A and B are shown apart, each in its own frame.
Chain A
Amino acid sequence: MSEPIQGELLDAPPARPRPGESFEGFYAAEMPRLVALARGLCGSAGAEDVAQEAMLVAYRRWGEVGGLERPEQWVRRTCANLAVSQFRRGMVELRVRTRISARRPPADQLDEMSEQFWSAVRALPQRQAQVAALRFVYDLPIADIARTLGCTEGTVKQHLSRARRSLADALDVTEEEA
């Protein structure tokens, strides 16, 4: 996936509250890809809970988070950090089990190649996995990934480069950019 040309529309425009947009609008727009991000980083089980937990914090702090220039970056970072922390996930799962009495229906199974791909992403070092997942799920440019994760563009490029190499090796595909 190449860097977008300046002015070119991205396939997945960021969910951004328009003036006066409520949290509900933000939630509806952002949640599907947020769950996909969580699922890519921690697997199907608990992915929706992780995304929901990130949204719960955003909801409680909407007065502050909603006023950010890019609130979606805030919630994506929270979700990505939660997804890669085994301990935090454990606490979330425990908390969610007491909150929701009805079990969630299981997520649809991915096809074999897709499952292999995302398993390989999850096997990456945490930061590489987060960079890769943000890149693939949201088709974000380097600068946006850097702002989401709170690191430099150089760091993102390095992580992405290593991630691509590792994924290509693990999945036995060619790495060259499309």
Chain B
Amino acid sequence: MKLDELARNATDSLLAGTTPDTTTGLAHLRRSSRRRSTARVAAAGLAVVTVLGGTLAVTRADDSAPEPAEPVVRNGALLVTTDSRAFRMVDGGGALDLPDDHYAYYDSTFTADGRELVYTSVDGRVVAHDVVTGDARELWDCGRPSPCFWAVSPDAERLAVVVEEGIEVHTVDDGTSTTIRTPETPGAYLDWSPDGRSLLFSGTESIYTIGVDGSDLRSVAATAPLHLDFPRVAWSPDGTTIAFVDSTPLEEPSAPNDVVESQYTLRLVAPNGEDLRTVQDLGVCACLGLVSPDLAWAPDGSGIAFTKVGRIRSHGAHLLDLGTGQLRELSPDANGFLAWEPAVSD
């Protein structure tokens, strides 16, 4: 038999056995495309009603008109890094093929609809990488070789960037900017509230929230004095809790820029500053930047993934279930950044 004859028969067989239901497929596709709408609606000020059994139902604050069933946010792929190498899924599946210009030494995060992984490029641009197509779009150019510190809004339409005088909020589409003045230059990590109305940032001895219009500045919790590191901060998906990495120096630095061993902990607090509590020991090390603990909220709010550190080596990525208090090891060798993809169901 000739190859072309075999190929023709095999192709006919393949086509005959492939009869997708395009009507149903189109309906699914239209519903799935509402994920981006869901993220935008969330940013417009929805009230989160409740967390139900590990899923997060997002509903409208105004219930005057009957609504179709809202999509539910569940946990998608959890990505970890090891030694600054490419992100890979916790449960296998290879590595995410990010562009060569991905700057491995800075945080990356998913957009609220899970479609894009936003990262810093080696030449200081903030880029959104479509994880399906591999396409990339530039959100902002920091204008200098070293990376700027940023956080993308839930609707992916704005980018908050740390500047000397506070936080600049850039609108991606038209490039307009506003500056929010803060009492001190924010640290490296920012986060948006799920409704897109407030920002969370760390200072030298405190973590703060502030409205995007510059109003309602609030010191949420005191932290250990900054010592060449910045506490990672993250707002929970339902907006009710702020998680942050705190550190307590175990010795006095002999010089201002000396790196000393510190005890790292994972702490939670309500946005109004109440109910501050330590939930997890994150280890001891003389860490700096890259190897200090990272954290990522589960998109459904049921838990927090984090990395632990140690004096000699890192201690991998783990998951704390906030409902049961149970701990689970996710990856023994993960020691860098975490990113958790939201998966929005029909």
Contacts and interface: CB of A to CB of B under 8 A. Distances in A.
Contacts of B8: 1, 136
B9 A87 contact: no
A98 B344 contact: yes
B17 A81 contact: no
B334 to A, nearest CB: 16
B183 interface: no
A117 B9 CA distance: 10
Interface string B1-22: 1111111111101111111101
B20 A177 contact: no
Select the residue from B14, B22, B26, B131 with max chain A CB neighbours within 10 A.
B14
Contacts of A136: 7-8, 10-11
Contacts of B76: 91, 94-95, 98
Interface size of B as a range:
35 or more
A89 to B, nearest CB: 8
B9 A94 contact: no
B3 A171 contact: yes
A86 B114 CA distance: 18
A35 B89 contact: no
Contacts of A87: 88-89, 93-97
Contact of B16 (A47, A53, A108, A113): A108
A173 B130 contact: no
A175 B3 contact: yes
B346 interface: yes
Contact of B22 (A31, A173, A175): A31
Contacts of A171: 3, 6
A137 B19 CA distance: 14
A24 interface: yes
A33 B41 CA distance: 35
Contact of A36 (B15, B31, B89, B134): B15
Contacts of A40: 14
B219 to A, nearest CB: 38
A24 B22 CA distance: 9
Task: Give chain B's interface secondary structure class.
Answer: mixed
A47 B32 CA distance: 18
Interface residues of A, number: 60
B82 to A, nearest CB: 15
A98 B345 contact: yes
Contacts of B97: 85, 87-88
B133 interface: yes
A113 B344 contact: no
**Interface residues of A: mostly helix, strand, loop or mixed?**
helix
Contacts of A24: 26
Nearest to B14: A36
A118 B14 CA distance: 9
Nearest to A172: B1
A93 B344 CA distance: 13
A56 B77 contact: no
A168 B1 CA distance: 10
A90 B77 contact: yes
A126 B64 CA distance: 53
A73 interface: no
B77 A94 contact: yes
A72 to B, nearest CB: 15
A54 interface: yes
Nearest to B78: A94
Interface in B181-227: none
A107 interface: yes
B132 interface: yes
A53 to B, nearest CB: 5
Nearest to A95: B343
Given A40-B14, A94-B76, A173-B6, A27 B89 contact: no
A28 B19 CA distance: 11
A171 B2 CA distance: 10
**Interface pairs A-B: 4 shortest CB-CB:** A90-B93, A108-B17, A117-B10, A114-B13
10 contacts: A24-B26, A32-B15, A32-B18, A39-B18, A47-B18, A78-B133, A91-B93, A94-B77, A99-B346, A110-B10
Given A85-B94, A107-B17, A173-B3, 11 more contacts: A24-B26, A32-B19, A35-B20, A51-B20, A86-B94, A95-B77, A95-B341, A113-B6, A113-B10, A117-B9, A164-B3
Interface of B: 1-11, 13-20, 22, 25-26, 28-33, 36, 72, 74, 76-77, 88-89, 92-97, 114, 130-134, 341, 343-346
Interface of A: 1, 24, 27-28, 31-33, 35-36, 39-40, 47-48, 51-57, 59-60, 78, 81-82, 85-92, 94-95, 98-101, 107-111, 113-114, 117-118, 136-137, 164, 167-168, 171, 173-178
